[in-house]
Amino acid sequence: MQTRIGRRRLLFGTGGVVAGLGLAGLAGGSARADAAAVEAKIKEIVGDRTVQEGRITLDAPEIAENGNTVPVSVSVDSPMTADDHVQRVHVFADGNPRPDVCTFHFTPKNGEAWASTRIRLAKTQKVYALAEMSDGSVYLTSREVKVTIGGCGG
Amino acid sequence: MAKPKPRVRVPRKPVPKGEVITVKTLISHPMESGQRKDKKGNVIPRKIINRFEATYNGELVFAMDLHPAISANPYIAFNLRVDEAGELAFKWVDDDGSVYTKKAKIKVAS
């Protein structure tokens, strides 16, 4: 009896280790664009400017049931005049095959700096929005979106 | 593939001068990401709309660079301050160089 229980314990134990390895392998395989890739993209745009917080808002659902089409809006607190306006807002995601999502190009003619689209998210991940203002200042925000069914096919 | 069909929604009624309106656009397009494989394991080549532009009376008012992470049938909405009556012209550029266009008139309340 004693040995049989021991063997069973050993079996369960091994099973756990194998399953653990399998999961680790999967996670390793799907971690393609990561936070570091997004950071590098942001660095490329920002250069030696200082990234500030505030002014930019990223609207996305806390939980997205379908990662194939996740509604996302960005808005920036800006008077949108010829002298003081938002030029660009870049959107990145750190859990997709590639970090780039889109770039919105604004003009003072927009009146209010707001734009909306629908994006693909392969899994639960962080979405980033980086605003470039006409005076050269840059503002960054991010939020996590939980994804129930991943997009991007495959 | 069916030819992409662009659709645009702007206020039909005349807009008070200076008011900010929301312009909504949608185009039917698979936005093939280039990440998917077919049943034989071959990669399905990427084919997406990569650029969107909107002009008002000939002046560029809004543009967007799109990457494969944009959903199929891209929906794009933005704001426009209406200082004068005129015509919005929209342009979607495909990876294969095709350009799809659409126009919409904006009336101003007198």
Question: Is A17 inside any structural domain?
Answer: no
pLDDT of A4 reads 53
Q: Residue A70: closest CA among chain B residues belongs to which residue?
A: B71
Q: What is the mean pLDDT of chain B?
A: 95
**The pTM is what?**
0.85
pLDDT of A25 reads 38
Domains in chain B (CATH in brackets) are: 1-37+73-110 (2.60.40.10)
> Which residues in chain B have their CB less than 8 angstroms from residue A69's CB?
71-72
Cross-chain residue pair A102–B65, CB shorter than 8 Å: yes
Full residue range of the structural domain in which residue A110 is found: 35-147
Q: What's A76's domain CATH number?
A: 2.60.40.2470
Question: Is A118 inside any structural domain?
Answer: yes
- Smallest CA-to-CA distance from B94 within B58, B48, B53, B36 is with B48
Helix (H, G, I), strand (E, B) or coil at A122: coil
Three state DSSP letters for B76-91: EEEEEECCCCEEEEEE
Cross-chain residue pair B33–A97, CB shorter than 8 Å: yes
pLDDT of A22 reads 40
* Residue A25 Cα, gap to closest chain B Cα (Å): 20
Residue A106: is its pLDDT beyond 90?
yes
Spans in chain B with pLDDT lower than 70: 1
Question: Is A22 inside any structural domain?
Answer: no
Q: Report residue A152's pLDDT band, with 50, 70 and 90 as the boundaries.
A: low
Which residues on adjacent β-strands are paired with residue B32?
A: B47
**What's the total number of domains in chain A?**
1
